Amino acid sequence: MQERRKQTTPFAEYLDILPKSLRDFPIFFTPEEKEFLKGSPFLNQINEKLEDIKIDYDLICKEVPAFEQFPLKEYSEVRMMVASRIFGITVDNVKTDGFVPYADMLNHRRPRQTTWYYDQEKEGFVIEACDDIARGEQVYDSYGKKCNSRFFLNYGFINLNNDANEVPMLIYLNKNDQAFDVKLKLINETKPWTKFRVVENLDERVMTEFISWVRFTEFDGDMAQLYLAKNEAINEH
């Protein structure tokens, strides 16, 4: 943010090509635009992101009062711009993050068309094709296997043919269940609920855990069987 305010900076050419607006990012939606999301759990994700950014901003301002010269809105914009563009790389055996001008303009596609890394000998960032790419064709990167909610929240777009979509779901223990206290003790938790990200593929591990939890919450048989099942699971691990 300091560099953006300087009249002269060695990063001027890169800063000039960065987006001037992040209106496509849901955290910057107007109240009217958010109305289209009414009833969707995605609204909660937007609010959680806004809250996290505000907490971090307040903490920075508390530790570094001079940071208050930068408004929350500007901090939010820069934070989202950084989060949506940085690459995780390893330099001198140290994992770090960095901007890579122009490489951060590659659009997303799966399966991945390219791979990238920091080359120690060349002292530079390298992008290699996984398949042949014809002259003039667009070159893509892969942002990873993510749900559209994550793409939308963190990058401002969705993938219409996304096989990794998921739905956040909270499953509660029934407080009217006569075995409520026993079940809560069995899971060693203070909260009577667990959050899952439900996906379409039933073979995914998260779905095995989800179905197991639902069966556990609805179980109304002999509680000794649950204790036995828990002990057997512990012994297997």
Bridge partners (DSSP) listed for residue 89: 96
| pTM of this structure | 0.78
Q: Residue range 69-97: average pLDDT?
A: 94
pLDDT at 61: 97
Helix, coil or strand: residue 125: strand
Q: Give exposure, 127-138, as e/b (b: 16+ Cβ within 10 Å).
A: eeeeeeeeeeee
In which band, very low, low, confident or very high, does the pLDDT at 188 lie, cut at 50, 70 and 90? confident
Enter the tokens of residue 54.
């505000």
Domain boundaries, the chain: 1-83, 85-162, 166-236
Amino acid, res. 178: Q
CB neighbour burial string for 197-213, b if at least 16 within 10 angstroms, e if fewer:
eebeeeeeeebeebeeb
Q: Are 172 and 193 in contact (CB under 8 A)?
A: yes
Assigned CATH class of 85-162 = mainly beta
User: How do residues 28-43 score in pLDDT, each as one tens digit?
Assistant: 999 999 999 998 889 9
Nearest to 57 by CA among 79, 32, 35: 79
Average pLDDT score over the chain: 90
What is the per-residue pLDDT across 55-79, written as a single tens digit (0 to 9) for each? 999 999 999 999 999 999 999 999 9
